[in-house]
A and B are shown apart, each in its own frame.
Chain A
Amino acid sequence: MSEPLVELRQLHKSFGDNHVLRGIDLSVAKGEVLCIIGPSGSGKSTLLRCVNLLEQPTGGQVFVAGVELTHRDCDIDKARRATGMVFQQFNLFSHLSVRDNVTISLRKVLKMKSTEANARADVLLNRVGLADKASAYPAQLSGGQQQRVAIARALAMEPSVMLFDEATSALDPELVGDVLGVMRELAEEGMTMLVVTHEMGFARNVADRVIFMDGGVIVEEGKPSQVINEPREERTKKFLANVLEN
């Protein structure tokens, strides 16, 4: 088997006395789509934020694309380019146009020329179906449109893995579909993805593997059909019964 693209070894994270992650071991292969499900407070967002070190783990190791991010000598700004992150609250830069949101890291981090960066932005915006919004500002867009721009912005740096942190949780129900559609296309193109989500339909249909977290540990993992349809663990059953009821 080839080397995993993302690997977490004995990952621990505490906020003061609150021990949020209690020894996570996880590896994700290139091209794999992994969905992380679990009740709120289970540590799933923290786990995702440890993959690009937005949260500094208290213990353990994080490897992405062969680089150990938790190593003392790691240039974290450079290492983060291997990951793209999409946030629940979109976090678009409100003072910049849609196009500049997508190109800013290309211009300021990679020192790419504007014409070249704009060309890449146009391709990406076209891909998320927002080519006509390039000159608009984030405040002029719907939540679903903003989140699709955020995906284009993260893709601009050509990351080898994409992290989605409850990307559809802040959206009105009728706007969720567009964003999930873009995510599904991305998965079909072979992007490696770690997706924290409450969308069980997406997890069932798109994920290669699902992990269920609770209390800072991975309780159960396996094929989506197995974890979602025939959970073995009591906690997984209880969680799914609650979620699927709604």
Chain B
Amino acid sequence: MNMSRRQRLQLVRGGIYALTIAALALLIISVDWGALGGALFKWDVVKKQFPDILTSALRNTIIFTIFGFIGGLSLGLLLAIMRLSKSKPYRWFAATYIEILRGVPLLVTLLILGFGIPIATGWSWPNPYLQGAVPLALVAGAYIAETVRAGIEAVPRGQMEAARSLGMSYTRAMVTVIIPQAFRIIVPPLTNEFVLLIKDTSLISVLGVTERTLDLARFGRNGVNDSANATPLVVAGLVYLALTIPLTQLAAWMERRSKVGRR
């Protein structure tokens, strides 16, 4: 049979579509939708989640995220500048910090700082919010540092030279010329870091939080225990999506806009 390359490709693609549709159809007829809906999205359980899921759980998730982000951004900026410093000890310290905190899973870091340190030293966290948010910020700082560093390095070298030739010190040039331009470059990846942080707050619940500091994930899990039904987790998932989808769309929009602007 004589077919062109293009005809063969069309045939293969058509076959893949047909198989996919058949598999989906099989799935749809074989699943007991009533039972599935009853277990995952039971309406009276959905209604019971409100308003607490918004007024308490969502609020706590946002508090953890914002604290983690502001702390992480400040720390990340400092680490990025240290990483680019001429001083070897600064570079070495920042590189080690970043490697360790990015290399250890957040869950482990949370447990070490949230439980391990208090047990080892007898010191205790003055506030249950801080117990979760501080480790989160320390880890976020390590990730954000690398983003900020990439942003600073993306600013053309000539900008620093022009600033220095006008009599600015290195620090002054960094603050007034380089960092503002670096931030324009990294707003989209920074938005993505923010989205990751929203999701990472769900790990804080391993620290056995109090009723007051329940976050979305833990709230969902407690709801499952109370209702013997998975619906609260699905609702929590939907609330996460309501936060994250607008933000990822915003990041994508900003990225497209900055590409147009550069032309």
Q: Using a CB–CB distance below 8 Å, which chain A residues touch chain B? A: 52, 54, 77-78, 80-81, 83-85, 87, 89, 91-95, 104-105, 108-109, 139, 150, 153-154, 157
Contact: A153 with B158, CB < 8 Å?
Answer: no
Q: Is the CB of B184 within 8 A of A54?
A: no
Whether A85 pairs with B184 at a CB distance below 8 angstroms is: no
Residue numbers in A under 8 Å from B176 (CB-CB): 104, 108
- Is there an interface contact between A108 and B168, defined as CB atoms closer than 8 Å? yes
CB neighbours (8 Å) of A92 from chain B are 162
B103 on the interface (CB 8 Å rule)?
no
Whether A153 pairs with B166 at a CB distance below 8 angstroms is yes
- Given A91-B158, A94-B181, A85-B165 contact (CB < 8 Å): yes
B164 contacts which chain A residues (CB < 8 A)?
A: 54, 77, 80
Contact with A along B141-176 (1 / 0, CB 8 A): 000000000000000101101111111110010001
A223 and B181 alpha carbons, distance in the complex (Å): 44
Partner of B159, one of A80, A85, A93: A93
A87-B162, A95-B181 given; A78·B261 CB < 8 A: no
B180 at the interface (CB under 8 A from A): yes
Interface of A is mostly: mixed
A94 to B261, CA, bound (A): 12
A167 to chain B, nearest CB (A): 13
Shortest Cβ gap from A176 to chain B (Å): 20
Could you tell me the distance between the alpha carbons of A154 and B161 in the complex, rounded to whole angstroms? 12
Given A89-B158, A93-B177, A139-B261, decide whether A109 and B165 contact each other with a Cβ distance below 8 A: no
In contact, B167 and A81 (Cβ under 8 angstroms)? yes
> B162 to A52, Cβ gap below 8 A?
no
The distance from the CB of B40 to the nearest CB of chain A, in whole angstroms, is 49
Taking each of B156, B158, B165, B261, which has the highest tally of chain A beta carbons within 10 Å of its own beta carbon? B165
* Neighbouring B residues of A157 by C-beta, 8 Å: 166-167
B116-144 interface code vs A (CB 8 A; 1 in, 0 out): 00000000000000000000000000000
Inter-chain contact B168/A84, CB cutoff 8 Å:
no
- CB pair A95–B172 under 8 Å, yes or no, is no
Check if A109 sits within 8 Å of B172, measured CB to CB: yes
Contacts of A93 in B (CB 8 A): 159, 162-163, 177, 181
In the complex, chain A residues whose CB is within 8 Å of the CB of B161: 54, 87, 91
B71 to chain A, nearest CB (A): 26
Min distance, Cβ A111 to any Cβ of chain B, angstroms:
11
Taking A104-B166, A153-B166 as known contacts, 16 extra A-B pairs with beta carbons closer than 8 A to each other, sorted by chain A number, are: A78-B167, A81-B167, A85-B162, A89-B158, A91-B162, A93-B159, A94-B159, A95-B184, A105-B166, A108-B168, A108-B176, A109-B166, A150-B162, A154-B166, A157-B166, A157-B167
Residue of A nearest to B169 (CB): A77
Q: How far is it, in angstroms, between the C-alpha of A85 and the C-alpha of B158 when the chains are bound?
A: 12
Contact residues in B for A139 (Cβ distance below 8 Å): 261
